[in-house]
């Protein structure tokens, strides 16, 4: 069974109605990116950041996977599918995709502000209990913070994602501008000769690589991709 690896971005979640910083000119609910999505913002006002992500979870839980999410999952019948996503929502999980790497974190999870990757301090939130009171402490005594990669922080799962990308027999980019690093750099880990598909309605930088560009939005583009992939399964 061929290994099919996806890199997905905000364009996939947008079709489910989730807003992004880029699409709202750097503002969400009248907050700047620096205030609610940076390490400096967290240090300056952890209460604001905690409440902001409480709101993001409420918003996420109101949304459902769209056709693009479902079509990605459906390809598991013919391929060994893995998803590397820049999105922090859980819509790929809701669609049933089994193997997912969240490069930029998960909105439904909280963690230690002293050591983000200390799994003993992770708190997995649920639809019935999705909010965290500001000032709540993790098991190590530090403040619980959102399990997201703030601007200015390292991306701890990028090495895992790069190793996965090297195993791909087919690599597909859906709904990302390929302007955000280090995620965009994953293209250079695709083995020589492996076909690369990019689904995005706008031109995207492909870093000198030959790609099959499907210039459509995520769901429409995924329909076309599925038709093209069937002979390759």
Domain 1-18+66-104+155-233 has CATH 3.40.50.1220: yes
Is 102 a residue of the active site? no
- Residue 107 makes CB contacts below 8 A (sequence gap 6+) with 53, 56, 57, 60, 88, 89, 90, 146, 148
Rounded to two decimals, what is the model's pTM?
0.93
- What pLDDT is recorded for position 23? 58
Helix (H) or strand (E) holding 199: strand 196-199
Of the candidates 102, 104, 188, 213, the residue annotated as catalytic is 104
Going from N- to C-terminal start, the domains of the chain cover: 1-18+66-104+155-233, 19-62+109-148
- What pLDDT is recorded for position 208? 76
- What pLDDT is recorded for position 100? 98
Summarised one tens digit per residue, pLDDT across range 72-105 is: 999 999 999 999 999 999 999 999 999 999 999 9
- What pLDDT is recorded for position 232? 65
CA-to-CA separations, 111 to 50, 120, 149, 151, 203, in angstroms, rounded: 12, 9, 11, 17, 37
CATH superfamily for domain 19-62+109-148 = SIR2/SIRT2 'Small Domain' (3.30.1600.10)
- What pLDDT is recorded for position 210? 87
* Residue numbers of the chain with a pLDDT score lower than 70: 20-29, 232-233
Residue 92 and residue 69 in contact, taking contact as beta carbons nearer than 8 Å: yes
Residue 186 and residue 161 in contact, taking contact as beta carbons nearer than 8 Å: yes
């Amino acid at each position: 069974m061929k290994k099919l690896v996806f890199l997905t971005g905000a364009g996939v979640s947008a079709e489910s109605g989730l807003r992004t910083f880029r699409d709202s000119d750097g503002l969400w609910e009248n907050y700047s990116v620096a205030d609610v999505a940076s390490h400096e913002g967290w240090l300056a006002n952890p209460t604001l950041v905690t409440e902001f992500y409480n709101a993001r979870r409420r918003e996420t839980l109101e949304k459902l996977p769209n056709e693009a999410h479902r079509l990605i999952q459906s390809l598991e019948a013919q391929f060994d599918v893995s998803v590397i996503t820049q999105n922090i929502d859980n819509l790929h999980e809701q669609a049933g995709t089994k193997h997912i790497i969240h490069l930029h974190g998960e909105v439904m999870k909280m963690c230690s502000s002293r050591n983000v990757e200390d799994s003993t301090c992770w708190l997995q939130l649920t639809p019935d209990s999705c909010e965290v009171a500001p000032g709540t402490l993790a098991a190590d005594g530090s403040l619980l913070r959102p399990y997201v990669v703030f601007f200015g922080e390292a991306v701890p799962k990028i090495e895992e994602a790069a190793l996965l990308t090297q195993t791909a027999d087919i690599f597909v980019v859906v709904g990302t501008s390929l302007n955000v690093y280090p995620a965009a750099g994953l293209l250079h880990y695709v083995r020589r000769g492996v076909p690369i598909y990019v689904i995005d309605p706008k031109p995207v930088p492909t870093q000198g690589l030959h790609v099959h560009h499907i210039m459509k939005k995520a769901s429409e583009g995924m329909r076309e991709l599925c038709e093209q992939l069937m002979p390759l399964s």
